[in-house]
Amino acid sequence: MSLYVKKFGGSSVANAERVFNVANIIVEDYKKGNDVIVVVSAQGDTTDDLIAKAREINPKGASKREMDVLLTAGEQISISLLAMAIEKLGYPVISLLGWQAGFNTDSNHCIARIKNINTERMKNELDKKKIIIVAGFQGIDKYDDLTTLGRGGSDTSAVAIAAAMKADRCQIYTDVDGVYTSDPRKVKFAKKLDEITYDEMLELATLGAQVLNNRSVEMAKKHNVELEVLSSLEKKPGTIVKEKVKMEKILIRGVAKDMDVSIISVIGLKDNPGIAFKLFNALAQNKIEVDMILQSVGRDGTKDISFSVKRSESENAMRTIDSFRENLEFESIKCSNNVAKVSIVGAGMESHPGVASKMFEALYDNQINIQMISTSEIKISVIIDEKYADKALTVVHDKFFG
């Protein structure tokens, strides 16, 4: 007998038919004698509809506390409907709101962090052999006020329950059947992975492969919760996310592209100590997140620094640097928006120095010019012209998996 925590997103419970589909998945594991705790998001567009209602009343100024009161109603509706479907199938079930399930959070409304989970109620209900349906995304603070966990909150709720209840596995059901070596809609030979490490998953998520929310993967890593990403529509094993996986011959786990990139280059910086600190400190103070950084020797004893930011941040970054012009002393500054980042991720590459050259070879063979390179222990990213992004994704992927 095992304890499974299962999480279903909003599209999985969008209408009565899908609610029953989910109910059947739950009941199937319960019938085998397992304990099952389910975390569910708000149905389909419910959250968007509620946000629209709030915008109609107060387009900008609605307080975060009241937003949380409003939005948590969405999961309240979906948990009761899912419980009713399981009742209809004839199995014992109880729905619990975040606070009933013991989710204590801080008071940062709309982006609250879980402080602890009081598992007493959930344990009591499991003792009564009930299937438990928990409202994801929500908790309560020390003032007894409702809070929400922010983006991807239901994934976080599921992992937190799995950790607190020492579940055997936390299963995240989605509309894809697992984690792929690349986007299957773009890359013909993309393969589903049986296993992936937490760190690899984190890198892939950061690179735009948003199957799992990073915060939930970080929490799973911290508490060593075994995750499974699987389909709510097809009945087959998904991808397991855990600390260590069998290496076999696979060096890399995935290839991803990210179009939300701009490169900013500061040319002819005076080569004084602390110049890089001054530059990036100015950006940090304006809350601009910098991803890749490249420093090169410029002409006449100056240096050039290039870095990547999200495209939506590029103007802000340009303005920030320009306003520090006197302090920084540089010749010119330029911004390219028509670039893309292509990355390969895999814990295997650490001990295989040939990985990078294999990637570069694939790009060279296809006449794709590399503008910047950045490497970490488990990732190699290159910046290229955005018009070659899809081609690069395919040729790099096929070099490793073809």
* Residues engaged in binding a second copy (CB under 8 A): 16, 19-20, 50, 53-54, 56-58, 61-63, 65-67, 69-70, 72-74, 76-77, 79-81, 83-85, 87-88, 94-95, 97, 100, 121, 144-146
| Tokens 């690349």 -> residue | 182
Residue type, 217: V
Q: Name the minimum Å distance from CB 144 to a second copy.
A: 6
- Residues 46/110, Cβ–Cβ less than 8 Å: no
* Phi/psi of residue 133, nearest 5 degrees: -110, 115
Hey, how many other C-beta atoms are within 10 angstroms of the C-beta on 366? 14
- Cβ closer to a second copy: 51 or 276? 51
What CA–CA distances, in Å, run from 216 to 31, 62, 264, 268, 289?
Answer: 28, 28, 31, 42, 21
Q: Can you say how many angstroms the Cα of residue 239 is from the centroid of all Cα atoms in its chain?
A: 15
- Cβ closer to a second copy: 63 or 338? 63
Q: Name the minimum Å distance from CB 30 to a second copy.
A: 17
Q: Name the minimum Å distance from CB 72 to a second copy.
A: 7
Q: C-alpha dihedral over 199, 205, 207, 208, to 10 degrees?
A: 170
Q: Name the minimum Å distance from CB 226 to a second copy.
A: 31
- Residues 176/169, Cβ–Cβ less than 8 Å: no
- Cβ closer to a second copy: 36 or 283? 36
Q: Name the minimum Å distance from CB 114 to a second copy.
A: 19
Structure tokens at 116: 């602890």
- Cβ closer to a second copy: 55 or 334? 55
- Cβ closer to a second copy: 66 or 398? 66
- Residues 213/155, Cβ–Cβ less than 8 Å: yes
* Helices and strands, number each (H, E), in the chain: 12, 20
Enclosing H/E stretch for 332: strand 332-336
Structure tokens at 137: 């995304």
- Cβ closer to a second copy: 153 or 346? 153
Q: Name the minimum Å distance from CB 147 to a second copy.
A: 13
- Cβ closer to a second copy: 99 or 173? 99
Label residue 274 left, alpha or beta by phi (over 0 means left) and psi (-120 to 50 means alpha).
left
Q: Name the minimum Å distance from CB 115 to a second copy.
A: 19
Classify strands 339-345 and 379-385 as parallel, antiparallel or unpaired: antiparallel
Q: Name the minimum Å distance from CB 152 to a second copy.
A: 22
- Cβ closer to a second copy: 85 or 170? 85
- How many Å apart are CA 252 and CA 260, to the nearest integer? 23
